[in-house]
Amino acid sequence: MKLIFLGPPGAGKGTQAAVISKRFGIAHISTGDILRENVSKKTDLGIQAQKYMEAGQLVPDDVIVAMVESRLQEKDCQEGFILDGFPRTVVQAEALDKLLEKLDIELDGIIYFDVPDEVVVKRLSGRRICKSCGAIYNIHSQPPKKDGVCDLCGGELYQRSDDEESVVMNRLKVYKELTAPLISYYEKSDKFIKVDASRDSSVVVEAIVEAVRK
C-alpha cells in the first residue's frame, strides 16, 4: 500500500498514518517528524529547517525533496509507505512524480483529509505528543489516562511550539496558498480519495482503508 496523505495542519494525518502503517506493516514517512528529529539533534539540516518551522513557513523544496528521495529508498519502504505531509507544494509534487517514475513505484491512493478551519484550530490547541515514543493525544478528544503522561510508554507529553495560536494561523495561511493547490493537481487522478476527516478518528481510519481497498 503506497499512499499520500494530504490535508491541512491538524487534520489528523499523523494520527491516521500511525494506525494504518502499524496495521499494514508499512513505513510512515512524516517529513515533519524527520525535520523535528533533526532539529532536536542539531544536525545541519535541523539548524537550516528550524527557523522556517518555528515561523510556520515551509522548509525549501530542494531540501525536502532530497530528504524524501533518500528515505524512499530505505528497505522498510519496499512493502509500502505513507507519505505524511509531503508533497506540500506543486514543485514537490512534480519532483515526486519524477522520483516515483525513476524508482518504478506506483501509488495506490492520494488521501485528502477534508476538515474545516475551526476544527483544525481546536485540534491543534489540544494536541499533546509523547517525548519518548511520539504517540499523539488530544486533551479534548483523545486525552491520556493520566494528565501529561503517555498511556503507551509512560513518557512525558509536550506541546509542539508551532501549535501556538499565532503560528497555527500562519501555517493555515501557508497551507491555503501553497498546499491546497495540490487538490486540483491530484483531483483528476482516479487515485484521489476525499475523506471527511472531521468525524471520529475510528470512523476516519475505516473510511480510508475501505476507500483504498475499493
* Smallest distance from ligand AP5 to CB 201, Å: 4
88 near ligand AP5, rule: CB under 6 A: yes
Q: Figure out which of the listed residues 4, 64, 111, 150 binds ligand AP5, where binding follows CB under 6 A.
A: 64
CA angle 81–121–124, rounded 5-degree value: 55
Q: Figure out which of the listed residues 2, 6, 9, 45 binds ligand AP5, where binding follows CB under 6 A.
A: 9
28 near ligand AP5, rule: CB under 6 A: no
134 near ligand AP5, rule: CB under 6 A: no
Q: Figure out which of the listed residues 2, 6, 38, 85 binds ligand AP5, where binding follows CB under 6 A.
A: 85
Tell me how far CA of residue 65 lies from CA of 62, 71, 94, 99, in angstroms. Answer: 5, 10, 10, 9
* Smallest distance from ligand AP5 to CB 146, Å: 16
Q: Figure out which of the listed residues 82, 182, 195, 204 binds ligand AP5, where binding follows CB under 6 A.
A: 204
160 has catalytic annotation: yes
* Cβ(3)–Cβ(107) below 8 Å: yes
* Smallest distance from ligand AP5 to CB 79, Å: 22
**Separation CA 3–CA 111 (nearest Å):** 7
127 has catalytic annotation: yes
Q: Figure out which of the listed residues 46, 80, 126, 143 binds ligand AP5, where binding follows CB under 6 A.
A: 126
Which residues make Cβ contacts (< 8 Å) with residue 118, sequence separation at least 6? none
Grid cell listed for 46: 535541523
Task: Give the total residue count for the chain.
Answer: 214
Among the listed residues 41, 64, 88, 53, the one whose alpha carbon sits nearest the alpha carbon of residue 163 = 53
SS3 2: strand
Residue with smallest beta-carbon separation from ligand AP5 = 32
Query: Using CA of residue 9, residue 7, residue 156, residue 138, what is the dihedral sign?
Result: positive
In the window 93-122, what residues touch ligand AP5 (CB under 6 A)? Answer: none
* Cβ(1)–Cβ(83) below 8 Å: no
* DSSP 8-state class, residue 79: T
15 near ligand AP5, rule: CB under 6 A: yes
32 near ligand AP5, rule: CB under 6 A: yes
213 has catalytic annotation: no
Binding site for ligand AP5 (CB under 6 A): 7, 9-15, 31-32, 35, 52-53, 56-59, 64, 85-86, 88, 92, 123, 126-127, 136-138, 141-142, 162, 171, 200-201, 204
Catalytic site positions: 13, 88, 127, 160, 171
